[in-house]
């Protein structure tokens, strides 16, 4: 009798759903694609390149939305939880990508599919119901106009209470270019960045509901279970107070080290404010229970309750993460924690990226203060730093495209260009994507990371600063002399971390695990899952290839060195006097020259033919050099 | 073996998260004690620290400070 066939770590099957024709198709992918691009946004990039035309408008039906969980998502590997949503971004017009944790991706993989490509657009609202091999496009008129919490509740009633829901709120429906895809209702995990929620809205796709009953096919199940159990036991002890407070517990440390942006990147200190909205305060006064993404032993997030207008405490879902505390707290000088929690809830319900939304409101407040806009533009709302009511009013304006919100709904850079004058100097973006809450003046490696990130200013695409704070990466051989505010070594660090995080995305690993998993353990897990015999260098090469492919997507759309630029404020304004100056433009140029050289790109930011050949991307030459 | 005295400085905000009397701790330990050894001697939360500044110079926790040196412990900072 023949032995049972071993799993490969993937099924090789992807779903194609054309919403225009309602045609559903399953395709089998060659093994080579998994070896070249892994899964997650790596495979997603390749599918987007193959199936989409980058030249079409992001809201055009021919712009696909590609959804691919990572290799580890749905397995027992701790931290393997994430799923990538990729498309041409309606916010930036270039490569768009957002990843999300929770349990949706694991459930999707249990349907027996490795990915989902949404093509076309429906003529009226629909949702997609995927129940193992049963795939159905269902009407969603009664859901249209509902927020993500309400929509999730209704969809679970209509399908299966054990199903998982990824949905858009009113922001995505209204084609707000900073709209997120929200996962699992009140659990409120967000595929936040670059406007993927608006791509769903343009397709009239309210939600994707999944229910799967199969497992991920594993090459060495006993070996993987042993590896995963060992790491699950080891990992929590490496995370310290993160296991109690999650990301919100770090806001005071970020403030102390200078990484927290304050008042639209204008100020240097906000110690008491940070303490008032800190993870500890949330934990003591508002948290009711902790929770986690699928199979993660860290339990880094919490559900919170706040009082409604009648003094009754209501569960408003997920606590604000560090990024949200920064963007609706420090960036707006708002130390009223209930209003930050409420802003987070509104973003989750409307389906808005909290980073871009907070940044855009910070820009608006400063523009208001400087007289570039007035109450005539804001529908009578008087914008002021720290005014929680005004902040919540602006969020509603953005989600429903009212008054000034209609401009901010296109992102802060587009809004500034319409306002004119010096407004653009008040924005803090790269390629139109608003900065996360990691000020590069504190860690210059973040400057080069943001400038060259495939989707714009993104902290998760690189996280180089974590190495500067001591996260061990023994494969890279760093020593402690990596001073945060000098140029030496920063381009190499940024390039390596870009490659490593491209791997994290391909594997579906939560980035917080970078504290525990350098390339070597990741390779061990991948080999046990797939039966491959890779070295960590093989894995890093895959990361290089994935990162470069994403770059190629954008170079096809004209992205060059002049677009890899840091904003005016970061290059010209100091943060804490001599202690934390601006990044001098000549220092930035030096790091950029080095980065391109390390990558094998021309001085104008294009990968050379030799580089593409070395990365087995030669088939892309025609596209790049046409 | 000779003993040495080293001053460890932790981030002030940690006082709100851990029950510590002060953000400056004087530790006496063996001459060959590394920064990590001294953190353990002082019963500080070692998992939170990744790097240190010794009289202003960045060093890993495996560095062996000299008697009388001032060691500022820097926390590991992650994304959000």
Q: Decide if A275 and B16 are in contact by the 8 Å CB cutoff.
A: yes
pLDDT per residue as tens digits for the range B30-79: 999 999 999 999 999 999 999 999 988 899 999 999 999 999 999 998 87
| pLDDT score of A538 | 98
Which CATH number goes with the domain that contains B62?
Answer: 3.10.20.30
| pLDDT score of A368 | 98
| pLDDT score of A113 | 98
Distance from the B80 Cα atom to the nearest Cα atom in chain A, whole angstroms: 5
Question: pLDDT at residue A620 above 90?
Answer: no
**What is the number of structural domains in chain B?**
1
Distance from the A162 Cα atom to the nearest Cα atom in chain B, whole angstroms: 29
pLDDT per residue as tens digits for the range A121-156: 999 999 999 999 999 999 999 999 999 999 999 999
Helix (H) or strand (E) holding A23: strand A23-28
Phi, psi of B34 (to 5 degrees): -80, 175
Average pLDDT estimate for A14-30: 97
Q: Decide if A470 and B47 are in contact by the 8 Å CB cutoff.
A: no
Q: Decide if B79 and A247 are in contact by the 8 Å CB cutoff.
A: yes
Question: Does some domain include residue B80?
Answer: no
Average pLDDT estimate for A355-359: 98
Band of pLDDT at residue A525, cut at 50, 70 and 90: very high
Q: Decide if A255 and B80 are in contact by the 8 Å CB cutoff.
A: no
Could you list the residue range(s) of the whole structural domain that residue B46 is in? 3-75
Is residue A577 helix, strand or coil? coil
- Measured distance CA(B38)–CA(A57) in Å, rounded: 59
CB of B48 within 8 Å of a chain A CB? The answer is: yes
The angle at the Cα of A257, spanning A436 to B10, to the nearest 5 degrees, equals 140
CB of B63 within 8 Å of a chain A CB? The answer is: yes
| pLDDT score of A483 | 87
Question: pLDDT at residue A550 above 50?
Answer: yes
Question: pLDDT at residue A164 above 70?
Answer: yes
pLDDT per residue as tens digits for the range A51-99: 998 889 999 999 999 999 999 999 999 999 999 999 999 999 999 999 9
| pLDDT score of A61 | 98
Question: pLDDT at residue A1 above 50?
Answer: no
Could you tell me the pTM of the whole model? 0.97
Least CB–CB distance from A470: residue in B13, B49, B80: B49
Distance from the B27 Cα atom to the nearest Cα atom in chain A, whole angstroms: 22
| pLDDT score of A493 | 95
Rounded percentage of chain A residues whose pLDDT exceeds 90: 93
Could you give the C-alpha distances from A605 to A210, A461, A563, in angstroms and in order?
40, 18, 9
Least CB–CB distance from B76: residue in A275, A326, A470: A470
Q: Decide if A480 and B63 are in contact by the 8 Å CB cutoff.
A: yes
Residue in A with minimal Cα distance to B46: A240
Encoding tokens for residue A153? 């509740």
| pLDDT score of A625 | 57
Rounded percentage of chain A residues whose pLDDT exceeds 70: 98
pLDDT per residue as tens digits for the range A390-420: 999 999 999 999 999 999 999 999 999 999 9
Substitution target in A240, A244, A513, A514 with the highest count of B β-carbons within 10 Å is: A240
Q: Decide if A470 and B12 are in contact by the 8 Å CB cutoff.
A: no
Average pLDDT, chain A: 96
Distance from the A382 Cα atom to the nearest Cα atom in chain B, whole angstroms: 30
Looking at A437-509, list the stretches that DSSP marks H as alpha helix, in order from N- to C-terminal side.
444-452, 465-468, 490-507
Chain B environment of A438 (Cβ under 8 Å) = 79-80
Q: Tell me, letter by letter, the H, E, C secondary structure of A501-543.
A: HHHHHHHCECHHHHHCCCHHHHHHHHHHHHCCCCCHHHHHHHH
Least CB–CB distance from A237: residue in B47, B49, B52: B47
Chain A environment of B76 (Cβ under 8 Å) = 466, 469-471, 515
Chain A environment of B63 (Cβ under 8 Å) = 480
Average pLDDT estimate for A464-478: 89
Distance from the B16 Cα atom to the nearest Cα atom in chain A, whole angstroms: 8
CB of B56 within 8 Å of a chain A CB? The answer is: no
Least CB–CB distance from B48: residue in A240, A254, A259: A240
| pLDDT score of A470 | 87
Token pair 């969603």 is found at: A140
Structure ipTM: 0.92
Band of pLDDT at residue A363, cut at 50, 70 and 90: very high
Average pLDDT estimate for A287-298: 93
Average pLDDT estimate for A267-285: 96
List of long-range contacts for A314-317, beta carbons under 8 Å, 24+ apart: A315/A186, A315/A288, A316/A186, A316/A341, A316/A342, A316/A344, A316/A345, A317/A149, A317/A185, A317/A186, A317/A187, A317/A188, A317/A345, A317/A348
Could you give the C-alpha distances from A190 to A182, A206, A448, A505, in angstroms and in order?
5, 15, 26, 15
| pLDDT score of A117 | 98
| pLDDT score of A352 | 98
């Amino acid at each position: 009798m023949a032995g049972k066939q071993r799993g490969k770590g993937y099924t090789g099957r992807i779903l194609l759903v054309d919403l225009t024709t309602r045609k559903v198709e399953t395709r089998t992918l060659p093994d080579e694609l998994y070896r070249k691009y892994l899964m997650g946004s790596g495979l997603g990039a390749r599918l987007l390149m193959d199936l989409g035309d980058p030249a079409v408008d992001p809201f055009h039906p021919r712009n696909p939305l590609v959804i691919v969980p990572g290799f580890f998502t749905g397995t027992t590997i701790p931290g393997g939880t994430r799923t990538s949503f990729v498309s041409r971004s309606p916010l930036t017009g270039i490569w768009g990508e957002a990843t999300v944790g929770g349990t949706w991706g694991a459930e999707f993989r249990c349907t027996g599919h490795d990915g989902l490509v949404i093509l076309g657009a429906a003529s009226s609202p629909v949702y997609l119901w995927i129940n193992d091999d049963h795939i159905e496009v269902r009407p969603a008129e009664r859901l249209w106009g509902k927020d993500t919490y309400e929509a999730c509740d209704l969809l679970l009633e209509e399908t299966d209470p054990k199903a998982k829901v990824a949905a858009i709120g009113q922001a995505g429906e209204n084609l707000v270019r900073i709209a997120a895809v929200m996962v699992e209702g009140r659990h409120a995990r967000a595929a936040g960045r670059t406007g993927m929620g608006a791509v769903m809205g343009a397709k009239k796709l309210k939600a994707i509901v999944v229910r799967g009953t199969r497992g991920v096919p594993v090459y060495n199940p006993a070996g993987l279970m042993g590896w995963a159990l060992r790491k699950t036991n080891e990992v929590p002890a490496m995370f310290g107070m993160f296991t109690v407070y999650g990301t919100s517990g770090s806001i005071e440390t970020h403030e102390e080290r200078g990484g927290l942006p304050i008042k639209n990147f204008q100020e240097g200190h906000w110690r008491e404010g940070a303490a008032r909205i800190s993870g500890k305060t949330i934990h003591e006064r508002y948290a009711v229970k902790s929770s986690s993404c699928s199979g993660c032993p860290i339990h880094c997030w919490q559900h919170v309750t706040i009082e409604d207008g009648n003094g009754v405490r209501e569960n408003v879902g997920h606590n604000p993460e560090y990024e949200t505390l920064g963007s609706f707290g420090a960036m707006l000088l708002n130390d009223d924690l209930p209003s930050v929690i409420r802003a987070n809830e509104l973003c989750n319900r409307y389906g808005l990226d909290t980073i871009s939304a907070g940044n855009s409101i910070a820009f608006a407040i400063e523009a208001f203060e400087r007289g570039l806009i007035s109450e005539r533009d804001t529908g009578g709302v008087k914008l002021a730093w720290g005014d929680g009511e005004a902040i919540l009013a602006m969020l509603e304006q953005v989600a429903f495209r009212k008054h000034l919100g209609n401009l901010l709904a296109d992102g802060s850079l587009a809004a500034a260009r319409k306002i004119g004058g010096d407004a653009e100097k008040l924005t803090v973006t790269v390629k139109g994507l608003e900065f996360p809450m990691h000020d590069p003046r504190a860690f210059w490696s973040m400057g080069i990371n943001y400038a060259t990130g495939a989707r714009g200013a993104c902290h998760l695409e690189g996280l180089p600063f974590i190495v500067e704070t001591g996260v061990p990466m023994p494969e890279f051989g760093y020593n402690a002399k990596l001073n945060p505010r000098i140029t030496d070594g920063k381009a190499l660090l940024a390039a390596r971390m870009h490659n490593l995080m491209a791997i994290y995305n391909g594997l579906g690993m939560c980035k917080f695990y970078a504290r525990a998993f350098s390339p070597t353990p990741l390779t061990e897990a991948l080999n046990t899952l797939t039966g491959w015999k890779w070295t960590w260098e093989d894995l890093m090469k895959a990361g290089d290839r994935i990162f470069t492919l994403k770059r190629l997507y954008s170079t096809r759309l004209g992205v060059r060195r002049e677009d890899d630029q840091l904003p005016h404020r970061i290059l010209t304004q100091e943060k804490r006097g001599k202690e934390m100056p601006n990044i001098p433009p000549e220092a930035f140029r030096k790091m950029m020259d080095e980065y391109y050289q390390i990558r094998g790109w021309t001085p104008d930011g294009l990968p050379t033919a030799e580089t593409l050949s070395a990365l087995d991307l030669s088939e892309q030459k025609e596209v790049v050099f046409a | 073996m000779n003993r040495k005295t080293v001053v460890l400085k932790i981030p002030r905000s940690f006082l709100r998260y851990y029950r510590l009397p002060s953000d400056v701790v004087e530790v006496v330990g063996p001459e060959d004690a590394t920064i990590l050894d001294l953190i353990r001697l002082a019963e500080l939360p070692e998992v939170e620290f990744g790097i240190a500044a010794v009289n202003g110079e960045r060093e890993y926790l495996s560095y062996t400070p000299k008697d009388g040196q001032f060691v500022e412990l820097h926390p590991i900072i992650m994304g959000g």
